[in-house]
Chain A
Amino acid sequence: MSGEEEENAAELKIGDEFLKAKCLMNCEVSLILDHKYEQLQQSSDDPMNQVSQVFEKSLQYVKRFSRYKNPDAARQVREILARYQLAEFELCVLGNLCPETVEEAIAMVPSIKVDIFFFSFV
């Protein structure tokens, strides 16, 4: 079993490129892929043929696992989460999984417990 040796999302070790990148919640991806699919429908008779299996599987997946069906709700969630000093990756995991308790949140995004620990002393 190989892979990048030091990679570990639990410690937010996901590489500089992805730490700085824009992370997307499933509902946001759903909007983007829907839009793209519509564009394809307008410009061709058979959009299903034009998209890759990766696209189809991703579209099905984000539709099934979108927590917020309403784009405004998605935007609000991002705005609220953005007020805390979270990395993009942490924000999206929380937005996707919607943990109900603090314990669950820390289990889902172990890298945030560092901040909680720090702030509890301030």
Chain B
Amino acid sequence: MFFHIVLERNMQLHPRYFGRNLRDNLVAKLMKDVEGTCSGRHGFVVAVTGIENVGKGLIRDGTGFVTFPVKYQCVVFRPFKGEILEAVVTMMGFFAEAGPVQIFVSNHLIPDDMEFQSGDMPNYTTSDGSVKIQKDSEVRLKIIGTRVDATEIFCIGTIKDDFLGVINDPVAI
């Protein structure tokens, strides 16, 4: 799920950046440092949307660097266990992607009446052929677990519950 939240970060700035463009330099460095990163607590930082506050700079002892506490607004993507969302199938196994996060749906969590068919276009199909899941299919799945490592969050999902599985074309209003 996407959220718009306020985060805080201590930015260290080298004296070469002091001067008229100090604030711009600070903001540029913030975006470079933070956009695209991921943490277990807040999820993926997709984009910084604004700066709320830049505190007073504190000169570090022994070096000329100055630390500024910066409060900024950003869009984050944070998947939750138990959350139901839509995703695109990328590979048989099957793996799906919802924005920046990868989700794995194992055979055990795919309905029993769907069988794996290997071949040129490997897919999962129901016994009567009416429903097919293949690369680029859109599916609705439920996240049943998340794992966080240093740089990303990885999820395990299921399509075995009611109202989950392949999506029909969404209607655009």
Contacts and interface: CB of A to CB of B under 8 A. Distances in A.
Interface of A: 1-4, 7-11, 13-14, 17-18, 21-26, 28-29, 32-33, 36, 51-55, 57-58, 61-62, 64-70, 73, 89, 92-93, 96-99, 103-104, 107-109
Contacts of A18: 3, 5, 78, 80
Contact of B46 (A1, A33, A97, A107): A33
Give the interface size class of chain B: 35 or more
12 contacts: A7-B82, A18-B3, A29-B46, A32-B49, A51-B35, A54-B77, A55-B36, A66-B172, A67-B172, A104-B162, A108-B84, A109-B84
B84 A97 contact: yes
B99 interface: yes
B35 A89 contact: no
B contacts with A: majority SS? strand
A29 B43 CA distance: 15
Q: Which of B38, B45, B170 has the most CB of A within 10 A?
A: B170
Interface of B: 1-5, 35-38, 40, 44-47, 49, 75, 77-78, 80-86, 88, 97-100, 138, 140, 143, 145-148, 156, 161-163, 170-173
A32 to B, nearest CB: 6
Nearest to B101: A57
Contacts of B2: 23-26, 28-29, 58, 62, 92
